[in-house]
Structure 1
Amino acid sequence: MKQKVVIKVSMHCQKCHSKALKIVVGSPGVESAALKGADKSEIEIIGDGMDAVELATSLKKKMKYAELVSVGPAGGGEKKEKPKEAEKPKEAKPEVQVQPLVWSGYPGGVPYYYDNRVVYADPYYSPNCFIM
């Protein structure tokens, strides 16, 4: 799928323009590149299978400033309208009741673990422990 990437680069002379375009066009997957914007400081790149972050990084290394402005599908200006299907009534989903989690105050910040016989304050301490 073709994608369109717009990268803002600091360019102030004709030499900078040609240097930036050379860097972009030499990247894999790039089909076309053009200068856009009022002051020609943005490069619009159209290609298939290109990495936008890699393009911005390589421009930043050589041109000292590059900002990734937008990445999106390459649309030629035509908008294809999909035929609308008849609206189906949405089925009501049953409400799921969630039990709230209640934390009671534990003495000393250690939770109690309940057993049928004894209440332990520490999970690793047991009166039935035979290891010494």
Structure 2
Amino acid sequence: MKVTMNCQKCRAEAMKVAAKTDGVTSVAIEGPDKDKMVVVGDDIDTASLSLALKKKLGHSVILTVEEVKPKPPEKKPEEIIKALYEYWPPPPYRPCPIYCSEIYSEPQQSNCSLM
């Protein structure tokens, strides 16, 4: 709705009138000049709301009336899901490798020799 709201007092009065209307769940003021009011709710009588705003503030125009659809739940990106399953199930337990080294020694020469 477009409502004539020149000062902060007029904006507060418009929000009070809209909030008192049956079915209203939220009221917000938008626009670069702060002259547009967004009213959200169930089964709001827009004509009676506009008339009440005209009585209090002098001028109001209904710009759009539309149904607010609930947002679908956000899906996780496939990358996150892929990352979760990349390490699931956890790898089996592997013991640390044991390295065996062969001890090599040179044969000792004896003092005895046969010739």
- Normalising TM by the smaller chain, what interval? 0.5 to 0.7
Q: Which residue of 18, 25, 28 maps to 2:19?
A: 25
Q: How does 1:1-132 map to 2 (within 5 A)?
A: 7-75=1-69, 78=71
CA distance in 2, matches of 1:75, 1:13: 33
| Alignment gaps of 5+ in structure 2 | 73-115
What code does the residue aligned with 1:25 have?
A
TM-score, normalised to structure 1, is 0.52
Q: How many residues align?
A: 73
CA distance in 2, matches of 1:74, 1:36: 17
Report the structure, 1 or 2, having the larger strand content: 1
3-state SS of paired residue (2:33): coil
Identity percentage of aligned residues:
35
| Alignment gaps of 5+ in structure 1 | 1-6, 80-132
Give the CA RMSD over aligned residues: 1.6
Report the structure, 1 or 2, having the larger helix content: 2
Shift of 1:75: 3.6
CA distance in 2, matches of 1:50, 1:8: 16
> Runs of 4+ in structure 1 displaced over 2 angstroms?
none
